[in-house]
Structure 1
Amino acid sequence: MTAALISTAALLRVSGVAKSFTMHLRGGLELPVVANVAFDLHPGECVVLGGPSGVGKSSILRMVYGNYAVDAGTILVRDVTSGKMVDLATGDPRTVLDLRHASIAYVSQFLRAVPRVSAIDVVAEPLVARGIPREQATRRAAALLERLNLPSALFGLPPATFSGGEKQRVNIARGFITDHPILLLDEPTASLDATNRDVVVAMIREKLAAGTAILGIFHDSPVREAIATRTLDVTAFSAREAA
């Protein structure tokens, strides 16, 4: 596939995906979540997953990242090295890790940092893992944390004792520091004040302008309206609604 075709082709293609949970403490009760989930994600798009709480938005994000197994369907992710679509849904753990390393970044709603690791090292780690010299990675991490208005006195401290908003800014910086072609965002501005929310909106717009494909959940209406290129109503895929 030529570079020109890769630049316009879908980076993510979800087709026929279904997910349910087994409630083992309830005698193996099957709780359906979503069924027949299908959509494409292209470079420069910000697709927002819409619908009420509990309809399956976060489950879709976690399946796309490989945190949740699927019951049926395919999740095709374009491999940045070969240009081919790889099925994350049926891939082994190595395939999932390789896709995360090169193709998909994820900003979760809550920071899960390794204890005793400083905030600046948490942010720099994805670059170090990709072979960027630590000094260069640390400079870039510091620049992002400064842009997100995290006090420099906190850079060398572990984020475990940070406030919710401070932790989320570390989380955002870590997710945005790389150039992954696909970026998943799970309510990244939920714990932020208006000033830092505006900073994140600007960062998202810069990613989109650079061709990053973004799939996210945004309950903050001003943020959603500022960055969404398309809204996907997850209610259409709700297995609970259909049951």
Structure 2
Amino acid sequence: MAAPAPLLDVRGVAKSFTMHLRGGIRLPVVANVSFALHPGECVVLGGPSGVGKSSILRMVYGNYAVDAGEILVRDEGGAMRDLGAGDPRTVLALRERSIGYVSQFLRAVPRASALEVVADPLVRLGTPRETARDRAAAMLARLNLPEALFDLPPATFSGGEKQRVNIARGFLTEHPILLLDEPTASLDAANRDVVVGMIREKLRQGVAVLGIFHDEPVRQAVATRILDVSVFSARKAA
């Protein structure tokens, strides 16, 4: 039986930064990054700090432009589209329907309640507001956020509370690809276990997960494959 087609195919990607305040010095980060991500697979980006794990994740989400190569993402119609080309309309369309993202830090709209922050992606996809809020409340409850906080703006929350809002927002939608940047870093053991269970559910549903996990027990619990980013480190090559 043939393996399912990849949802993400990264081919020969390179990234560097130009230090404009230091005479235009070019700082290479990664080179020839190549891997594929399939449905139901959790690929964990591994390797020591500074080898480019976060840069790869940000390129796949379209936050960083690439110097070379392709980042092919399967859209809702089944076509592979090159997010790495940097076209803003392509990036926004793929973020809306194909790629979900849980960052390390919550960037919420000022004065919007936690419930509104979590429900917003569903509302933008056409889900009735009340239905979206109900689903958001259920997700927040699963992550053990006190109900008294649901109608308060997350700017006032603790680090762990903010991260649970962030996780709820990222997991509520049904994107076929989910990017996770240290989602459990600010959580206690009980809530880490909840998130592990949520990741496993996504994998059973056929979602493809690409993530960074510095928490070893979490990494071991969810990884189907660990990709050592050291082999792509342009700094090491230099």
TM-score band by shorter chain is over 0.9
**Comparing 163-172 with 88-97, which one deviates more in the overlay?**
88-97
Alignment partner of 1:16 is 2:15 = no
Q: Tell me, in whole angstroms, the C-alpha distance in 2 between the residues paired with 1:40 and 1:191.
A: 29
Matches within 5 A, 1:101-120: 101-120=96-115
Alignment partner of 1:49 is 2:41 = no
Q: Tell me, in whole angstroms, the C-alpha distance in 2 between the residues paired with 1:150 and 1:68.
A: 32
Q: Tell me, in whole angstroms, the C-alpha distance in 1 between the residues paired with 2:233 and 2:86.
A: 25
Q: Gaps spanning 5+ residues in structure 2: where?
A: none
Percent of counterpart pairs with the same letter? 79
Alignment partner of 1:68 is 2:68 = no
Alignment partner of 1:28 is 2:30 = no
Query: What's 2:33 paired with?
Result: 37
Counterpart pick for 1:157 among 152, 157, 165 = 152
| TM score, norm. by length of structure 2 | 0.99
Quick check: 2:103–2:180 contact (8 Å CA) kept in 1? yes
Query: RMSD across aligned C-alpha pairs, in angstroms?
Result: 1.1
Alignment partner of 1:216 is 2:211 = yes
Alignment partner of 1:194 is 2:201 = no
Q: Given residue 178 of structure 2, which amino acid in structure 1 is its aligned partner?
A: L
Q: Given residue 27 of structure 1, which amino acid in structure 2 is its aligned partner?
A: G
Q: Given residue 38 of structure 1, which amino acid in structure 2 is its aligned partner?
A: S
Quick check: 2:65–2:86 contact (8 Å CA) kept in 1? no
After the TM superposition, list the runs of 4 or more consecutive aligned residues in structure 1 that deviate by more than 2 angstroms. none
Q: Deviations over 1:47-91 (max 9, x none)?
A: 0000011110000000000000000000000011x2110000114
- Cα drift, residue 232 of structure 1: 0.2
- Cα drift, residue 92 of structure 1: 1.2
Aligned length: 238
- Cα drift, residue 8 of structure 1: 1.6
Counterpart pick for 1:227 among 204, 209, 222 = 222
